[in-house]
A and B are shown apart, each in its own frame.
Chain A
């Protein structure tokens, strides 16, 4: 038994190299940046550089409780075909019913990506025969999708230097709702294919359309690369395909309008022979779904049941801060560096963690960020954890930073406490400090005695300092720290030593 699925949003993103309209005003250069900022060598003809045009088709699963067109649930890792309604199984006579939550998610995505929201959008059927497509067609939005003409600006660092950020913009062609197909599991040993129609795998899938051309000339023939399952492979696949096409053309060959698959092991693209080929999808309007009408505050009819309409303005008001706004706020509010704001926003849950710590500590945010980015984040990365999964809660970290800030412990002691806390044994920072005797020596007399003992033992160094080589004092400080096992406040030690040496 097969089933029909949850759907997802997908959007077409267009990235373009310096080809097209902007190329005219650009001086000819030996190399041209492709869409991803990589370099494409000058063509062998030497006439003009190659420019690549890259379009991405991004399929993203919507987080919703039920599927796009049926009431059956969406659940990660559910047993195969356990969440399949009669509609999902494409039983004769069943009809699609659009999930409101999915529409809202699409509108929200459209607004976040600066799109124009179509007040009226349509659904289409896209036909092809495949075992995991039980209806023989997929419901999608080919002609008039929910959102069109958007853009996304993003920053990246040049030459891996955080200080050299450049901002780029990609255009979003459209964002549309599309029913997910099922999943085919090929069992080669028994030469059979099993179909899972749950289709709730919480995934992001990207297909890349790539062509190359000389700026000023029409776009080249494009290929579509499928089977890309990570961002890293996307970059590899695009780079490979651009180079392949250039090589092909420069050797007098032609680029075929074909679908290719990315082979992640070999790092190259190969033509797909399976279901793709050149298909005529025989699109037609989906007759069982009336046009999807969206409203705004102005067009919202009176006496309308709010459960039955989607109000764009209402969603707009509830749009959370977008990353760029979040970053600007972080820089302004906490005085942290812009590049640090990127890390905070990009890492899942890290910004909230940081803000929670800041709220609970007297330490300045500028100092807190160091602990978050170098200590906490590196530990998280090492253990592949998100901020939410951190064994050290924001409360405990704030506690620790307060001890440091109050001068109760030294920063090296703080690092030790941090390591202890990471073990997640349920001890508070103070308990650890007590247990390991890490508190700074607050007793002035005791400290003075220790300093005096060091001075008495190190005549040579004392002479050097008195002779004018003041740097040597650091060695004495180090010795005091060693003697106190890091429990002495270095500033205080320095003061005492200076005082004693000047006597």
Chain B
């Protein structure tokens, strides 16, 4: 891949754009850097990493305007909070007023929503600068970020020094191009955007692992909060009963900062909890001896790579050695999660997609023989095979004669899966530690050999149950694989115990010292001192 040369952005003193939100926020306050400079830097990086295909829409003009407004606030000494002036990106299945919202589908190409999703509004109200909308699998249906109409997202690690050093050309005849690996999905655009330092945080969505999976593959923190903690109003749904807005950041502390600005009851989403949410800063744990870490044996799933298994067990040892209680636990209904998810997901998809009929918004076919034929043609043209396939199965499961056998049964199994967690947490376990993915990211050419359904089925296996049970879970980048690619581990916590979950994650993050991605493009744009340059390897 030939990289375009990018003009250098103005000097920013010693401020690194590789830092975390709290540091940048302090630098903004002290005037070491201005929101506009920060925004321009990120926009330049987006341009120079365009080949990643992480963004569907870059809202340069509005972003610069927002940065300007932020700058005025800082000058007045009245910033809105820690996120004021911080460049962020949003997955393209969240509604953004005035900026295209496509869901990476022909159905919504060119669709401009008249309103902001609650989470987007909250970020903007906090002064954040919205750089653009990130790429995904069509309507978030997928685990590779390869199945959207705007093409696949490339994992920034494909271009890292770490990966390039390790990679053996597959064969002389194959171009270098074929080595690039996927980001995972469906929030692959957001994960890549954060991973390539084009933004400080990004919103993803997580229905079966769509935030944690790409976070693991791209070496970033991916938080799926408890169902009901964050408003879904304005998130174009995949599975309403499992969807949660996800948070992708460079470090655990940043995830807590973003969570603090998003969480809380929304009158527009009746499934959000009424309790008042108190934003928190994460303490630095020094003593983990009172912690009980559960290792669910069922997560030793078929297909789990030996490398990941080794990282997982090392992590368990790390806790044990630090004095924590580490116990093997059982979540016996985990095996049924995949098939159960398949029924519930497709049923809700069939229902949620019914509104895309070409009448009011989105794509409309030229077919005008009758309203029915217009519907049919619109939906055939507007949806991909993957989406149509899920709609078809979902409608089948919801038929009167099948409802009891499939949907009702799946709901019962879902309850059993959720009860598994209740029992384990009831037994005194504080946090569960599991792998996030079965393996590190695979090359695109390998990935597309199997169809979307098979891949989603395999890839969601370790993340899905948390959605079934509505529990908070976070991916923490842990180590590099033998191929120089990120491996992440997942922590699953008790409902609404984000603070405890992230506190443990933060402790773990500090222990493992995950190496920073070394990208040529990023170096060019960073005038600061590269931190963590010595990649303290965990494995």
- B-contacting residues of A (Cβ < 8 Å)? 1-2, 86, 89-98, 125, 127, 129, 131, 134-137, 193, 195, 280, 282-284, 287-290, 308
| Residue B347 CB within 8 A of the other chain | yes
Interface pair B355/A134, CB less than 8 Å apart: yes
- Chain A residues with CB under 8 Å of B407's CB are 284
Interface pairs A-B: 9 shortest CB-CB: A136-B354, A282-B398, A287-B240, A287-B241, A92-B236, A93-B234, A135-B355, A90-B355, A93-B236
| Residue B232 CB within 8 A of the other chain | yes
Pick the residue among A135, A282, A290, A308 that contacts B399 (CB under 8 A): A282
Q: CA–CA, A284 to B350, complex, Å?
A: 11
Q: CA–CA, A1 to B398, complex, Å?
A: 29
Pick the residue among A127, A193, A288 that contacts B354 (CB under 8 A): A127
Instruction: Show 11 residue pairs from A and B whose CB-CB distance is below 8 angstroms, ordered by the A residue.
Output: A2-B360, A92-B101, A92-B355, A94-B233, A97-B268, A134-B357, A136-B351, A282-B350, A284-B347, A288-B271, A290-B271
One digit per residue, 1 when the CB lies within 8 angstroms of any chain A CB and 0 when it does not, for chain B 100-126 equals 010100001001011101000000000
Interface pair B274/A125, CB less than 8 Å apart: no
- Chain A residues with CB under 8 Å of B283's CB are none
- Chain B residues with CB under 8 Å of A280's CB are 399-400
With contacts A131-B359, A136-B354, A280-B400 known, is A93 near B117, CB below 8 A?
yes
Q: Is the interface of A mostly helix, strand, loop or mixed?
A: loop
- Chain A residues with CB under 8 Å of B152's CB are none
Most buried by A among B239, B240, B357, B399: B357
Interface pair B267/A97, CB less than 8 Å apart: yes
- Chain B residues with CB under 8 Å of A95's CB are 232-233, 268-271
Q: Which of B390-426 contact A (CB under 8 A)?
A: 395, 398-400, 403, 407
Q: CA–CA, A90 to B362, complex, Å?
A: 12
Interface pair A284/B270, CB less than 8 Å apart: no
Q: CA–CA, A284 to B232, complex, Å?
A: 20
Q: CA–CA, A287 to B399, complex, Å?
A: 18
Distance in Å from the Cβ of A96 to the closest Cβ of chain B?
7
| Residue B336 CB within 8 A of the other chain | no
Interface pair A308/B117, CB less than 8 Å apart: no
User: Which residue of chain B has its CB nearest to the CB of A98?
Assistant: B270
Most buried by A among B236, B268, B399: B268
Distance in Å from the Cβ of A283 to the closest Cβ of chain B?
7
Pick the residue among B108, B357, B360 that contacts A129 (CB under 8 A): B357
Distance in Å from the Cβ of B234 to the closest Cβ of chain A?
4
Q: Which of B287-343 contact A (CB under 8 A)?
A: none
| Residue B375 CB within 8 A of the other chain | yes
Distance in Å from the Cβ of B117 to the closest Cβ of chain A?
6
| Residue B446 CB within 8 A of the other chain | no
Interface pair B235/A93, CB less than 8 Å apart: yes
Distance in Å from the Cβ of B383 to the closest Cβ of chain A?
13
Interface pair A91/B113, CB less than 8 Å apart: yes
User: Which residue of chain B has its CB nearest to the CB of A193?
Assistant: B371
Interface pair B270/A288, CB less than 8 Å apart: yes
Interface pair A92/B360, CB less than 8 Å apart: no
Distance in Å from the Cβ of B28 to the closest Cβ of chain A?
31
Pick the residue among A93, A131, A137, A289 that contacts B233 (CB under 8 A): A93
Q: CA–CA, A31 to B434, complex, Å?
A: 75
| Residue B237 CB within 8 A of the other chain | yes
Interface pair B274/A308, CB less than 8 Å apart: yes
Interface pair B357/A136, CB less than 8 Å apart: yes
| Residue B361 CB within 8 A of the other chain | yes
| Residue B249 CB within 8 A of the other chain | no
Distance in Å from the Cβ of B274 to the closest Cβ of chain A?
7
- Chain B residues with CB under 8 Å of A308's CB are 274
Q: CA–CA, A193 to B360, complex, Å?
A: 13
- Chain B residues with CB under 8 Å of A94's CB are 233-234
With contacts A90-B360, A136-B355 known, is A288 near B395, CB below 8 A?
no
Distance in Å from the Cβ of A40 to the closest Cβ of chain B?
33
- Chain A residues with CB under 8 Å of B114's CB are 86, 91
Distance in Å from the Cβ of A406 to the closest Cβ of chain B?
63
Interface pair A284/B398, CB less than 8 Å apart: yes
- Chain B residues with CB under 8 Å of A97's CB are 267-268, 270
One digit per residue, 1 when the CB lies within 8 angstroms of any chain A CB and 0 when it does not, for chain B 343-356 equals 00001101101111
Interface pair A96/B270, CB less than 8 Å apart: yes
User: Which residue of chain B has its CB nearest to the CB of A282?
Assistant: B398
Distance in Å from the Cβ of B40 to the closest Cβ of chain A?
31
| Residue B95 CB within 8 A of the other chain | yes
Distance in Å from the Cβ of B395 to the closest Cβ of chain A?
6
Interface pair B113/A93, CB less than 8 Å apart: yes
| Residue B60 CB within 8 A of the other chain | no
- Supplied contacts A93-B117, A136-B357, 17 more A-B pairs, CB within 8 Å: A86-B115, A91-B113, A91-B360, A91-B361, A92-B95, A92-B236, A93-B95, A93-B233, A93-B236, A95-B233, A282-B351, A282-B395, A282-B399, A284-B407, A287-B240, A288-B271, A290-B270
